[in-house]
Each structure stands twice: as structure tokens, then as C-alpha cells.
């Protein structure tokens, strides 16, 4: 894990605050701490981004450079901290859901996904993955999704949905359902043992979606997006990353601000004719 620059501050996003609100789940999403380092690559821009996720209890902390996002499912709010800009925002889940209400989620009518098991493959982290390929074709568009599941990491369905962004207040999409279905518990699948390293084992154990490659081909253009887990450990989030520094300005999250600005542009009065 890389060394993080220490931050000093008086306002801290603390796990102690979790005790103030009742849990929405029968048990914690992550009974044991889980630290995931992943890389996201996008062929169109050629950009590559490294992201760290620290999961513990009912909270996921995502670190991308100087930006930190804290999704707290008990408090039902998102805290975003930008240490470089010295700003932060705190946004209730309901406000996020309202901002995203009405976002179109379209599915290709008549086109179905063809699923093919692709066997075991080694991951970027050197772990064994159960892989599956899903293809859907329609006029002028071909979609392919390759998913690798790490079954040495056992999680609940709720934890999987939280990690892939399928749970409230996010907008659930068809790709989320495909990931959850691929990660579901195996039934009579060759006797491979699942190590329930995170889940308590009280419910069905899902594997961790460790690698996803999405390919879209349309009108001669091919776009590939890769999301790969580079390492998995049980580190906890460095406390200094959660500090909100003295003098940091509270701002509105772009999640709610951008839809407002777009709506205001749509409502601009028409120019009067001379």
C-alpha cells in the first residue's frame, strides 16, 4: 500500500458515528475489514486510474488520489473530501436518489445475452478466477462482457451489490444484474471450496467480481473498459484520510449540483426577437 500524506484536522468521519443510527442490514456488510486495490482502464481515452476501496462494517471508503468518498449505509449519506482543493460535501442518500431520478436505463428489446463459461484463469493479482463470457448482438451493436469471479473471497449478496454500485441510492442497471448473477453461489460446481473470509457464512456466499472487461462495437468504433483487482488484503483505512482539514470549505456535491445546473439551462427564457 502506498504511503499517504498525513492530514491534520478537527472534523473526522468516524466509525463511532455508526453507532448513532440503526443498521439497515441483518448483519454488517463487511464483518471483517477488506482492502481492495483496483485499476480501471478505458481504451478510448487511453487513461488508467488506480482506486483503493476500504470496506468495514456498513461503510465503503474509496480513495482516488487526493479525493476520498465515504459511503455510509447506516447514516444513509455520502461524504466526499478533496484534500487538494480543501473542500468537502455531505449528501444524504435521498438527495442523491432524487438527483438521479428519471435517468434513462434502456435495455435492448429482443436481444438476449448469450452466456458461456470460460473456465478458470489467473487474475492480475495472481489469483484463480472462475470466468464467464456474455455476448449480446443487435443491428450495428455488439456487446461483450468478460467477468472473473474470485471465490476465495466470500461476500454476502448485499455486500456485492454495494461494491459494484447496484444498491440504493445508485441507479441499478442491467450490467449490475449480470455481475451479481455471475458471482452467485455455485451449486454442485466441481467441489471447489469457498473460503468465507468476509461473510459470516450465515447466508449464501457470493464470490468477489475481480475482473470485468466490457467491449462495445458500434459503427466501426470499438471501446474497451477494463476493471481489474490488483490486490486484496485486510488493511483498514488510514485515519488521516478521513480528516477534514481546518478551514476546508463545505460545497455541494457534483452529484446533485450538475443536474440542477443542467435543469436551469433547460429553463432559460427564450431570447426576445428584436
pLDDT digits over 5-45, tens only? 433 333 444 332 333 344 556 689 999 999 999 999 998 88
Residue 33 lies in a domain: yes
> What is the average pLDDT value for the chain, to the nearest integer?
83
Percent of the chain predicted with pLDDT > 90: 64
Question: For every residue of 137-187, which 3-state class applies, written as one string?
Answer: EECCEEEEEEEEEEEEEEECHHHHHHHCCCCCCCCCCHHHHHHHHHHCCCC
The span from the CA of 96 to the CA of 153, in Å, is 30
Residue 3 lies in a domain: no
The answer on 172 and 94 residing in a single domain is: no
pLDDT digits over 226-259, tens only? 999 999 999 999 999 999 999 999 999 999 988 7
The answer on 240 and 226 residing in a single domain is: no
Q: If you average pLDDT over residues 85-90, what whole number do you get?
A: 98
The answer on 89 and 131 residing in a single domain is: no
Q: If you average pLDDT over residues 189-213, what whole number do you get?
A: 65
C-beta separation of 241 from 53 below 8 A? no
The answer on 197 and 124 residing in a single domain is: yes
The answer on 246 and 194 residing in a single domain is: no
Local confidence band at 64 (pLDDT 50, 70, 90 cut-offs): very high
Local confidence band at 269 (pLDDT 50, 70, 90 cut-offs): low
Residue 6 lies in a domain: no
Residue 271 lies in a domain: no
Residue 41 lies in a domain: yes
C-beta separation of 65 from 77 below 8 A? no
Could you tell me the residue range of the domain that residue 204 belongs to? 114-231
Number of domains in the chain: 2
The span from the CA of 151 to the CA of 192, in Å, is 9
Residue 274 lies in a domain: no
Local confidence band at 191 (pLDDT 50, 70, 90 cut-offs): very low
The answer on 224 and 242 residing in a single domain is: no
pLDDT digits over 90-108, tens only? 999 999 999 988 654 555 5
pLDDT digits over 131-171, tens only? 999 999 988 899 999 999 999 999 999 999 999 999 999 98
The answer on 71 and 39 residing in a single domain is: yes
The answer on 254 and 186 residing in a single domain is: no
* Predicted structure pTM score: 0.81
**3 state DSSP class of 96:** helix
Residue 5 lies in a domain: no
Q: What residue has cell string 492530514?
A: 7
The answer on 160 and 209 residing in a single domain is: yes
The answer on 239 and 227 residing in a single domain is: no
In the numeric block, which cell numbers belong to residue 216?
Answer: 462495445
Q: If you average pLDDT over residues 190-219, what whole number do you get?
A: 72
The answer on 187 and 82 residing in a single domain is: no
Residue 46 lies in a domain: yes
Residue 194 has pLDDT above 50, yes or no: no
The answer on 222 and 163 residing in a single domain is: yes
Amino acid at each position: 500500500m502506498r504511503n499517504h500524506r498525513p492530514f491534520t484536522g478537527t472534523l473526522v468521519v468516524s466509525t463511532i458515528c455508526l453507532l448513532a443510527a440503526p443498521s439497515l442490514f441483518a448483519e454488517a456488510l463487511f464483518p471483517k475489514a477488506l482492502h481492495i486495490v483496483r485499476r480501471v482502464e478505458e481504451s478510448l481515452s487511453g487513461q488508467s486510474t488506480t482506486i483503493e476501496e476500504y470496506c468495514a462494517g456498513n461503510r465503503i471508503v474509496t480513495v482516488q488520489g487526493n479525493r476520498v468518498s465515504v459511503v455510509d449505509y447506516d447514516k444513509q449519506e455520502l461524504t466526499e473530501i478533496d484534500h487538494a482543493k480543501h473542500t468537502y460535501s455531505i449528501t444524504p442518500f435521498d438527495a442523491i436518489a432524487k438527483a438521479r431520478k428519471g435517468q434513462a436505463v434502456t435495455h435492448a428489446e429482443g436481444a438476449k445475452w448469450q452466456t458461456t463459461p470460460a473456465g478458470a484463469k489467473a487474475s492480475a493479482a495472481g489469483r484463480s478466477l472462475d470466468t464467464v463470457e456474455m455476448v449480446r448482438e443487435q443491428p450495428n451493436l455488439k456487446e461483450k462482457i468478460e467477468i472473473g469471479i474470485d471465490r476465495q473471497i466470500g461476500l454476502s449478496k448485499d455486500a456485492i451489490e454495494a461494491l459494484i454500485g447496484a444498491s440504493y441510492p445508485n441507479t441499478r442497471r442491467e450490467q449490475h444484474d449480470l455481475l451479481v448473477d455471475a458471482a452467485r453461489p455455485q451449486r454442485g460446481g466441481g467441489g471447489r471450496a469457498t473460503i468465507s473470509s468476509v461473510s459470516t457464512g450465515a447466508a449464501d456466499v457470493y464470490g468477489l467480481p475481480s475482473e470485468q472487461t466490457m467491449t462495445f462495437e458500434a459503427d466501426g468504433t470499438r471501446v474497451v473498459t477494463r476493471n481489474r483487482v490488483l490486490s486484496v488484503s485486510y488493511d483498514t483505512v488510514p485515519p488521516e484520510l478521513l480528516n477534514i482539514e481546518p478551514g476546508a470549505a463545505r460545497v455541494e456535491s457534483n452529484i446533485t449540483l450538475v443536474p440542477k445546473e443542467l435543469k436551469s439551462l433547460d429553463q432559460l427564457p427564450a431570447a426576445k426577437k428584436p
